[in-house]
Amino acid sequence: MSDRPIIKTALPGPKSKKKIKFDETYVSPSYTRAHPTVLDHADGPWIWDIDGNKFLDFHSGIGVCSTGNTHPKVVEAIIRQTRRAVHISSADFYHELVGQLAKRLSDVAPGPQPRRTFFTNSGTESVEAALKLARYKRRRPRMIAFMGAFHGRTMGALSLTCSKSTQRKGFAPLLPEVTHAPYPYCYRCPLNLEHSTCGLACLKFLEDEILTRVAPAEEVAAIIIEPIQGEGGYIVPPDDYFPALAALAKKHDIYLIVDEVQSGMGKTGKMFAIEHFGVSPQILTTAKALASGVPLGACIADRDVMDWPPGAHSTTFGGNPLGCASALATIDLLEGGLIANAAKQGKFVMAELKKLQKRHPSMGDVRGLGLMIGIEFVKDRASKKPAPEMADEVMMRAFEKGLMLLTCGPNGIRLVPPLIIERQHCQVALEILDEVIGKAEKKFKIG
Ligand code: PLP
């Protein structure tokens, strides 16, 4: 079988076209469907549509299918559990897997052992749990989040989100007492400074201005932050940021919540991205890749933080047996080599992208950790003027060549493939990227 994408029809193909029209009649138009094609089946890093086109998956279903789609060990675990029992609510009954998975997450999450986990069905619910837990324990009304953050779309999580205006527009009033601080986005410093000489001025601003004048520190329950800002543009903070942020939070007795919904479960070459920075938050959220595509999320916290009483927070589906079985198989695979592979392939892709950057002036910044990599497009490198049209064009042209990607931030694309990919898959993706970036630059007369 060919190890390259195969595109046989114009996109969308005739069968996909029909199904998309049907879908548009009945499905909420609020979804942002980036790729006009309809899934037939998927295997590892490959996705086939119902017209017989074969795509290379470099989005993993928004960072979910880290073990590849339909990994045999994951499928086997799900089938085995399905034959035993599909559901019994973890809220009211015991089943073995939920305890096993909580212990496993306690073992792999950074921080003092043992840690406790509240299970959910999604990222946004994991953030809701973290938010409620912080409020409940601290009995303080305020939260600090960051400019460009994405934490989900339910009302609590949405109040912390501010990555795009469409996400918030029309939904006010949101949760009160949330203040957004500048994220350490050094390529476009919100304070117009340079990291080499700024002395972490954005943190100083958080302490001296926000926690002093806007949201008094003694009223703040938690600071919530993504270790790599995901939807906001795959932005990686400098190495000295997180230790200083954790020290600041500790000084004011504020919880640090690290949202690893996107960055967690091995993608960055470590189980959790925050491990790159040597910090252990009191509360950590994860979801997406936790169960390789079976909906499951988790809010993991220090034992003395997660000691709320029965009924304070609960769920019908969170921690259901299928999700737990799939997550346990997923963690086995991650620890059994996929995290190491993410680090290895990520290093290769990053080095090759840096070479491409030399040839393509629109590639303003290339950044990331492991296999969580972003490219930010600009009109020219000197002015750094954003080129959102490049991001959309590159994504669509890559799609037409059989490489599926997603955008991130206002003018970036993200590469977040399944962690099973091998060198040859990376090479195919890089070849396609080189070609389509070149064509898009010509179209927009960049360079
Ligand atoms: N938190 C982060 C960091 C995310 O990237 C996302 C989704 O992209 C969420 C929370 C929300 O997750 P979900 O879409 O599963 O609710």
Q: How far is the CA of 295 from the centre of ligand 1 (A)?
A: 12
The whole-angstrom separation of Cα 174 and Cα 171 is 7
| Cα–chain center distance at 22 | 30
The residue-averaged pLDDT of 281-287 equals 98
- Which helix or strand (DSSP H or E) is residue 407 part of? strand 406-408
Q: How far is the CA of 129 from the centre of ligand 1 (A)?
A: 13
The residue-averaged pLDDT of 43-62 equals 98
Q: How far is the CA of 52 from the centre of ligand 1 (A)?
A: 31
What are the beta bridge partners of residue 142? 220
pLDDT reported for residue 305: 97
Q: pLDDT tens for residues 328-357?
A: 999 999 999 999 999 999 999 999 999 999
Does ligand 1 have an atom closer than 6 angstroms to the CB of 122? yes
Q: pLDDT tens for residues 344-401?
A: 999 999 999 999 999 999 999 999 999 999 999 999 999 999 999 999 999 999 999 9
Q: How confident is the model at residue 34 (pLDDT cuts 50, 70, 90)?
A: confident
N-terminal to C-terminal alpha carbon distance within the chain? 39
The whole-angstrom separation of Cα 358 and Cα 368 is 17
- % of the chain surpassing 70 pLDDT: 100
Give 167-182 as a DSSP string. HHTT--S--SSEEEEP
Q: How confident is the model at residue 447 (pLDDT cuts 50, 70, 90)?
A: confident
The residue-averaged pLDDT of 223-238 equals 98
Q: How confident is the model at residue 326 (pLDDT cuts 50, 70, 90)?
A: very high
Does ligand 1 have an atom closer than 6 angstroms to the CB of 257? no
pLDDT reported for residue 2: 64
CATH number at 14-71+337-444: 3.90.1150.10
Q: How far is the CA of 122 from the centre of ligand 1 (A)?
A: 7
Nearest atom in ligand 1 to the alpha carbon of residue 260 is 3
The residue-averaged pLDDT of 256-268 equals 98
The residue-averaged pLDDT of 46-54 equals 98
Nearest atom in ligand 1 to the alpha carbon of residue 297 is 15
The whole-angstrom separation of Cα 172 and Cα 149 is 17
Q: pLDDT tens for residues 128-171?
A: 999 999 999 999 999 999 999 999 999 999 999 999 999 999 99
Q: How far is the CA of 307 from the centre of ligand 1 (A)?
A: 25
Q: How far is the CA of 62 from the centre of ligand 1 (A)?
A: 9
Pocket probe mutation, ligand 1, options 59, 64, 124, max atoms within 8 Å of Cβ? 124
Does ligand 1 have an atom closer than 6 angstroms to the CB of 124? yes
Checking if the pLDDT of 123 tops 80, the result is yes
The whole-angstrom separation of Cα 421 and Cα 442 is 30
Q: Ligand 1, atom 5: nearest CA belongs to which residue?
A: 262
Q: Ligand 1, atom 13: nearest CA belongs to which residue?
A: 123
Q: How many CB atoms lie within 10 A of CB 246?
A: 20
Note whether 279 and 94 are within 8 A (CB).
Answer: no
Mean pLDDT of the chain: 97
Q: How many CB atoms lie within 10 A of CB 33?
A: 11
Q: Which residues of 104-136 are buried (b: 16+ CB within 10 A; e: fewer)?
A: bbbebbbbeeebbbbbbbbbbbbbbbbbbbbbb
The answer for residues whose C-beta is within 8 angstroms of residue 122's C-beta and 6 or more apart is 152, 287, 295, 297
Checking if the pLDDT of 260 tops 90, the result is yes
The residue-averaged pLDDT of 260-285 equals 98
Q: From 251, 241, 190, 249, select the one nearest 222 (Cα to Cα).
A: 249
Nearest atom in ligand 1 to the alpha carbon of residue 154 is 16
The residue-averaged pLDDT of 114-125 equals 98
pLDDT reported for residue 166: 94
Reported pTM: 0.98
Note whether 243 and 281 are within 8 A (CB).
Answer: no
Is the domain spanning 88-319 CATH 3.90.70.10? The answer is no
Domain ranges in the chain are 14-71+337-444, 88-319
Checking if the pLDDT of 87 tops 60, the result is yes
The reply to whether domains 14-71+337-444 and 88-319 share a CATH topology is: no
